[in-house]
Amino acid sequence: MITCIVLAAGESKRFDGNKLLFEIKPNVTVIEFLLKSIIASKVDRTIVVLGHEADLVSKMVLRLNDASLQTVVNPDYRIGGMSSSVRQGVEEVLDSHAIIITPADIPFIPSKVFNQLIAYYYNHNPRLIIPIYQNQKGHPILISSELFSHVRKISEEKRGMKEIITRFSEDIVFVPTESPEILQDVDKYEDLIKLKSILKTKEKNLI
């Protein structure tokens, strides 16, 4: 089983409002856009880790009405940071062969990228996979169950997932993609406007 852990607990401190709840297209919020892509992929199960405005974000998850989606609340998201959300997610999915971790504010990751990582994992069984676009590292990251015990101990004080990536750097496989979307996050409101513009262009090209 491959489980995706979506980190959706943050407070969006540099954004005026909860960025995950903003519509990236009519009636589709940032969080929903990403989850639709994951649902369309070969991911078996998705755990959305909630924290800030958990009730509101949970409503967006439930609106998709998909049995593969589950939510869990991280009560320590304010003091424990992203590391605590990763740990919370992993504790829920210890039966997985591997996990795919992605922040919720990188909404345009295509299904094909998730599928690329999954296919590579099943064919080669590496411990860590990181996708790249034009030699730039992006998201999501795939982690084999061999490393779960280490991921369960990460903390912000120890640099979170960066500690894992540094410690097991020799195990990392960088998988090239043709998807610049793996680099496109929503940090500020200006980023959202840019991504909405990119989406309109892509949709026009599909017509």
**Parallel, antiparallel or unpaired: strands 172-176 and 28-29:** unpaired
pLDDT in tens, the chain (207 residues): 999 999 999 876 666 678 899 888 889 999 999 999 999 999 999 999 999 999 999 999 999 999 999 999 999 988 988 999 999 999 999 999 999 999 999 999 999 999 999 999 999 999 999 999 999 999 999 999 999 999 999 998 989 999 999 999 999 999 999 999 999 887 777 777 777 777 766 654 433
Where in the sequence is the domain holding 158, given as residue range(s)?
2-206
Cα separation, 66 vs 117, in Å, equals 22
Cα separation, 16 vs 33, in Å, equals 20
Which amino acid, residue 188? K
**Neighbouring C-beta atoms of residue 38, cutoff 10 Å:** 24
pLDDT value, residue 190: 77
Which CATH number belongs to the domain containing residue 144 in this structure? 3.90.550.10
Can you spell out the DSSP letters for the chain?
Answer: -EEEEEEE----TTSSS-GGGSEEETTEEHHHHHHHHHHTTT--EEEEEEBTBHHHHHHHHHHT--TTEEEEE-TTHHHHHHHHHHHHHHHH-TT-SEEEEEETT-TT--HHHHHHHHHHHHHH--SEEEEEETTEE-S-EEEEGGGHHHHTT--TTTTTHHHHHHHTGGGEEEEE-S-GGGG----SHHHHHHHHHHHHHHHHHH-
- Domain count across the chain: 1
Going by C-alpha positions, the residue among 107, 111, 94 that lies closest to residue 60 is 107
Under 8 Å CB-to-CB from 37, ≥6 apart: which residues? 107, 108, 109, 110, 111, 114
